[in-house]
Amino acid sequence: MPLKPRSLHLTAEHVSRIPVIEDPGQPVYPDTRPALDADYDAEVKRLIDTGPDGDFWIFAYGSLIWNPATEFDQQRIAIAGGWHRSFCLFDARYRGNPKQPGLMLCLDRGGSCRGVAYRIPSENIKANLDKLIRREMSMVPSAFPGRWIKVMTEQGPLTALTFTINRRNARYVGGLTLAERADRLAQPHGWKGSMAEYVLSTVAMLEELGIHDRNLWNIQKLVAERIEHHWPART
């Protein structure tokens, strides 16, 4: 039975206090380059060729939960064993900038993660996968390549596509405390918006789905406190 949503400490009003930063431009990450059409085509082919026969599922754990970016005809709450949701991906453009880089969510090894499995309609798999890969893979090699993992749902096990961090990539940021992660999430802003907005949207949707992630819940509270410290509300 889904758990009742709780009232978040972090709010849209908090997010509105963060100064807007215009597009800082494409950052240069070590040993990477912008992805080309040929890269996207090759990745789509790789994932289709290595995927399971039958239904095509995607396991969402972060922004894909509240902004799927693909068509889907079914969704299920799913658990990915051996992986946990973590702010561990260095970002200096999308929701961060070179002066104030932030952290995006990825799946990192260890623990377990409750998320959402989406089924892509069988007649539109290639087109939807191309759209998804173009959203998730802006640089090559990717810091969080797509891979097939086993997930469990109430209806039974599934093999689903998801995106996991490559710990050997220069953009991987591990070993931070929750407080240190909150420090990197409270202020950054990039061309797609702020890190705080990303945190708010993710935690709010998880709560709506009855998914209580303890670490993210504590982080959103810490982010709200830091925003209140840096930009006190006007009285």
> Positive or negative CA dihedral for 204, 208, 214, 218?
positive
Report in angstroms the alpha-carbon separations of 182 from 27, 47, 142, 195.
Answer: 22, 34, 25, 10
- Catalytic positions are 136
Name the residue among 30, 62, 29 with its Cα closest to residue 211: 62
Q: Which token pair is 221?
A: 């509270």
Smallest CA-to-CA distance from 60 within 41, 75, 45, 71 is with: 75
Token pair belonging to 137: 């893979």
Write down the H helix ranges in the chain: 12-16, 37-50, 63-66, 125-136, 178-183, 195-208, 214-230
Task: Using the structure block, give the residue that is written with the tokens 């949503």.
Answer: 5
Burial of 177 (0-12, 13-18, 19+ CB in 10 A): exposed
